[in-house]
Amino acid sequence: MSNPHFISDEDLHAYVDGMLEEDRAAQVRNALAGNPVLAARVARFQADKAMFKTVYAPLADRPVPQEWISRARRRTAPSWRQAGAIAAALLVLAAAALAWRQFAPGVSPDVVEMALDARQDSPLEAHDVGAGGGATEQDNAALRRMLASDVRVPDLSRMGYKLQGLNFYDKAAEILYRGPRGELFTLYVKHSDGHARFDQFERRGLRVCIWQDDQISTVMAGNVSAAAMQRLATLSYTGLTS
């Protein structure tokens, strides 16, 4: 009998794709919360998925070449030359994926530095939140005006993080939270450069996560574990863009 607590790569890929049954998805979420190694693997799978979506999305709407359709209908067995060509093409795709992970531009390092600097700099405008600790419609409206985008302040209370305030900079916003032990957690949000990316690393003694789509770039920073950052990043990004 298989161990229900064992999380395979197939489980992780299905989790990233949203294909798991809810009971199994809950088991995976619990495993990620307590296992930084698994959380890092999921982060890599999500980054790869974002890469392939960015690279191949423009091809999705193109019609299948008629020559390919004709060849498929003939159903002829491939020759050794055709087999060699297919193998070569697969090698090229594998090399392209590896090169992308090594050299993709993604988010400019300056964005990360700006986000970390903002934790200590004085903003152009500070927007205090109500005593209830949650975002009001006025808070969301202020954020939308600053970013000129349909976004909202994420609710991180599920993980014990209370909204503290919003700071506004030149075409950027910083959302501040306080954790269960009073620790500062920040989201620095600005317009994306158009490249999709998900990454997690350490810088200046903080855990940093970048989650970027073709519209919004979000840099999250705090003194948290890799597993906690994975959960906070998911709550932050989905809450911001929902």
Per-residue pLDDT of the chain (242 residues; tens, 9 = 90+): 356 568 888 888 888 888 888 888 888 888 887 787 777 777 777 766 665 555 555 555 556 666 656 666 665 555 666 666 666 666 666 665 555 455 544 445 478 888 998 888 878 887 777 655 678 888 888 889 888 888 899 999 989 999 988 999 988 999 999 999 999 999 999 988 888 888 889 999 999 998 888 888 999 999 999 889 988 988 898 888 87
> How many angstroms separate the Cα of 221 from the Cα of each of 30, 173, 199, 225?
22, 14, 12, 11
The pLDDT value given to residue 220? 94
C-alpha–C-alpha distance, residues 37 and 215, integer Å = 29
Give long-range contacts, CB 8 A cutoff, 24+ apart: 154-162.
154/187, 154/235, 154/236, 154/237, 154/238, 154/239, 154/240, 155/235, 155/239, 156/185, 156/232, 156/235, 156/236, 156/239, 157/133, 158/235, 159/228, 159/231, 159/232, 159/235, 161/185, 161/232, 162/133
pTM: 0.57
